[in-house]
Chain A
Amino acid sequence: MAGNKISGQVWKVGHDVDTDLIIAARYLNRSEPEFLAQHCLEDLIPNLLERVKAGDILVAGKNFGCGSSREHAPIALKAAGFSCVIAESFARIFYRNAINIGLPIIVAPEVSRTVQEGSKLGVDPVSGEIKDLTTGTVFRGEPFPPFMLEILGKGGLIPYVREKVKNRG
């Protein structure tokens, strides 16, 4: 995904959106992405899947993804069609999980305070540049450390490690 620019319409959620809200445990007896997508954020945004368009962007407040280690959460968001999550801050396990499965996420504190629901954003996940295409305002997200960029560049942790393991012989 590295280098691929993203653009999409904004969905907004508040602070401390936890992994139970992103995908409730009652659905964790299955792990197919399509199934998880059907219940993504359902207790917060009713009928999300019917309304979300592929490529849309989720903008959140502080501490997005707090709680459980369930990777089902970023998988559900990605499968529901979100191309990117931008938040004031992320919970650390969620952050790792999103990078590991190749879901771009960007820490950009100003975005949730400024950008309106329904606005269109253009995002460069590598540089962290975020542009509000409606108002023209440009935001700077925190850039990824080079090591994480490498993981994202390979498409996630598994392709990255697969290559390392292969080279080791």
Chain B
Amino acid sequence: MGMTITEKILADHAGLAEVSPGELINVKLDLVLANDITGPLAIKEFRKIGVDRVFDKDKVVLIPDHFAPAKDIPSAQQCLEIKEFSREQGLTHYYEVGRNGIEHCFLPEQGLVVPGDVVIGADSHTCTYGGLGAFATGVGSTDLAVGMATGEIWFRVPESIKFILKGKPRNPWVTGKDYILAIIGKIGVDGAQYKAMEFTGEAIRDLSMDGRLTMANMAIEAGAKNGIIEPDEKTLAYVKERAQKPWKVYTSDPDAAYSEVIEIDVTNLEPQVAFPHLPSNTRPVSQATQVKIDQAVIGSCTNGRWEDLVVAAEIIKGKKIHPEVRAIVIPGTQEIYLRAVKEGLVEIFVNAGAVVSTPTCGPCLGGYMGILAKGEKAISTTNRNFVGRMGHPESEVYLSSPAIAAASAILGRIGSPEEVA
């Protein structure tokens, strides 16, 4: 019996010839990641283990991005804790504000994650790196502490669900975000619980790297352990420019076993909008055009990449944000920010009346920079729309692609780019 890409990566990192779903294995880690919220707790637990040093100072990455640049004194304290720990341990990969970005945009961009890696991060969206063909999953701070100390972690080998995306979308505004929202809408927020989501098919091959990272990013919103896409020539072109270490390409065997195979034809897929209060509550955008909005957010580890800003700028160029709407644009990293300045995107956004922020996770999790008041509604390119996610428990978040969020910012209600052309 063949193995899936997920099984092969895990087997190799456990020193086993083969593994099968359900098996509990001990896996060697290529990278261990935490941020300013989860890092301090992980450091506290690390101190209790009884080792002085992290397992490998080149493989532990700490990034202040959630409440950073610090929004208040307690947040500043948390940022300081991960900075001081990084200094104490001599970590190679600590990145201060101004030289970093939103972790899941930053790590692939900087070539810190490569195909075939096993990565754990104390952040649920660590699954993003599956877009590169890595096994990457979110864990809590205690698991992370053990990872930092030992360079290993136990896993239950997940079953895999194969999603075959067929066809080419007729609607030019359909992106990876729409694919993943449609999938979550179909299978539900626990539809892939404990499992690997493997995305394949013509539509995936046609998808950019930015789009693939977006899809893998939201695997957790279906309850998955990881999302993964086999590396192809696009992946390798992306990786070759950046990689700071060697990589290994794994692919699924033709006779690998899947718990389920789900085929989706994207030819007639419309851009999707997830209504409050679950990412699975999706509808085509044409059924969402009655929703008036107070805020539009374009950014986050889901959609703060270069391509996302380009699409938004294309739609916003020469127009004005609706007078009653706050539009917040957040480049995912400093590199993307600089490029957006050089290539005139920032000017387009500012001229239209949008705010352009330094990279931060702030608004996505209701941290800062775009908190919603009671009764307010936002359209957002982020990944979650749970109750109170972006502020007041009686506010509402609608999830969409950057194209839909940009068009909605101009319209003052949810709508499509065609409506503002």
Q: Which residues of A contact B (CB under 8 A)?
A: 16, 18, 20-21, 24-26, 28-31, 43-44, 62-63, 66-72, 74, 89, 91-93, 96-97, 100-101, 145, 147, 156-158, 161-162, 165-166
- Which residues on B are within 8 Å of A, measured CB to CB? 24, 37-38, 40-41, 44-45, 48-51, 66-67, 71-72, 74-75, 78, 121-124, 126, 138-143, 145-146, 149-150, 154, 189-190, 193-194, 220, 223, 225, 278, 365-367, 384, 386-389, 393
Q: Which residues of B contact A44 (CB under 8 A)?
A: 387
Complex Cα gap A21–B141 (Å): 19
Distance of A145 from chain B, by nearest CB (Å): 7
Is the CB–CB distance between A63 and B189 below 8 Å? Answer: yes
Count A/B pairs, Cβ under 8 Å.
133
B98–chain A nearest beta-carbon distance, Å: 20
Query: Known contacts being A29-B75, A70-B140, is A147 close to B24, with CB within 8 Å?
Result: yes
A162 shortest CB reach to chain B, Å: 5
Of B72, B74, B141, most buried by chain A (CB within 10 Å of CB) is: B141
Tell me if B193 and A158 are in contact (CB < 8 A).
no
Provide the bound-state CA to CA distance between A145 and B155, in Å. 13
Least CB separation from B155: chain A residue:
A96
Nearest Cβ in chain A — how far from B129, in angstroms? 15
**Once the chains bind, are B140 and A69 in contact (CB under 8 Å)?**
yes
CB contacts (< 8 Å) of B66 on chain A: these are: 28
> Which chain B residue shows the least CB distance to A94?
B140
In the complex, the answer to whether A165 meets B149 with C-beta atoms within 8 Å is yes
User: How far, in angstroms, from A165 to B49 measured CA to CA in the complex?
Assistant: 8
In Å, the complex CA distance between A161 and B189 comes to 32
* Contact flag A72-B388 (CB < 8 Å), given A43-B393, A63-B193: no
Whether the Cβ atoms of B190 and A158 lie closer than 8 Å is no
Question: In whole angstroms, what is the CA distance A21 to B24 when docked?
Answer: 31
Given A71-B38, A162-B50, 16 more A-B residue pairs with CB atoms under 8 Å apart are A20-B365, A21-B386, A24-B366, A29-B71, A31-B40, A63-B223, A68-B123, A69-B121, A69-B139, A71-B140, A89-B190, A91-B193, A93-B140, A96-B143, A100-B142, A145-B24
Q: Which residues of A contact B121 (CB under 8 A)?
A: 69
